[in-house]
Amino acid sequence: MTTYRYDKITIDTDNPNHNAQLEALHARAARLLCTCVEPPLEMYLARTQAGIIVKRMPDTGPRHAPTCPSYEPPAELGGLAPCSARPSSKTPTPAPPYSGSAFPCHDGLADQCLPRTTPAHPAIPPRHSPAS
C-alpha cells in the first residue's frame, strides 16, 4: 500500500477510487507528497496508456524509504556505478609513437614516467670496450 497526500487529501493506492482522484489531480497539475518519509517527498503525475501514475521527482529515489515503491538504491550501492561511469574517461590515451624522451614510456603512463635524467634502466654498456 502506498499513500500519497495532496493538501488535505490522502490518496491510497489500495483505494479503488484512487485512479479517479489522480485524474482530477493531474488535470490541475498537482504535485503529490509521498509520505514514506518525513518530511514527505514531492511526486508528480504522469499520464500513461495505463492511466495516471505517480512518479518520483528525478534523483529522489534514494531519499524514499526502502519499503516505498519509489525507492531506488543509490548508484554506488546498486552495483551499476562502474557501468554508468563514462568509459571514455578511463581509457588511457595512447602515447605518441616517439615522445623524444630518453627511454620509452608505457602507453598512457607518460605522466608517470621518471624524469629523463634518471632512466628506469641503466644503459647497457657496449659489449666490447675500446681496446687500450
- Min dist. Cβ of residue 115 to Zn ion (A): 57
- Min dist. Cβ of residue 39 to Zn ion (A): 12
**The C-alpha cell of 55 is what?**
512518479
- Min dist. Cβ of residue 95 to Zn ion (A): 51
**The C-alpha cell of 17 is what?**
477510487
Query: Scanning the structure block, which residue is given the C-alpha cell 485524474?
Result: 23
> Which CB, 62 or 105, lies closer to Zn ion?
62
CA–CA distance, 129 with 51 (Å, rounded to integer)? 90
- Min dist. Cβ of residue 78 to Zn ion (A): 17
CB atoms within 10 A of CB 45: 20
Q: Which helix (H) or strand (E) holds 42?
A: strand 41-48
> Which CB, 21 or 70, lies closer to Zn ion?
70
Kindly identify the residues of this chain, within the stretch 29-88, that bind Zn ion according to CB under 5 A: 34, 36, 64, 68, 70
> Which CB, 11 or 34, lies closer to Zn ion?
34
Should residue 18 be labelled a site residue for Zn ion when binding is judged by CB under 5 A?
no
> Which CB, 36 or 52, lies closer to Zn ion?
36
Query: What single string gives the DSSP state of each residue in 73-120?
Result: --TTTTT-HHHHS-GGGTSPPPPPS---SSSPPPTT-GGGSPPTTS-S
How many residues touch Zn ion under the rule CB under 5 A: the total is 5
Question: Contact positions toward Zn ion, by CB under 5 A?
Answer: 34, 36, 64, 68, 70
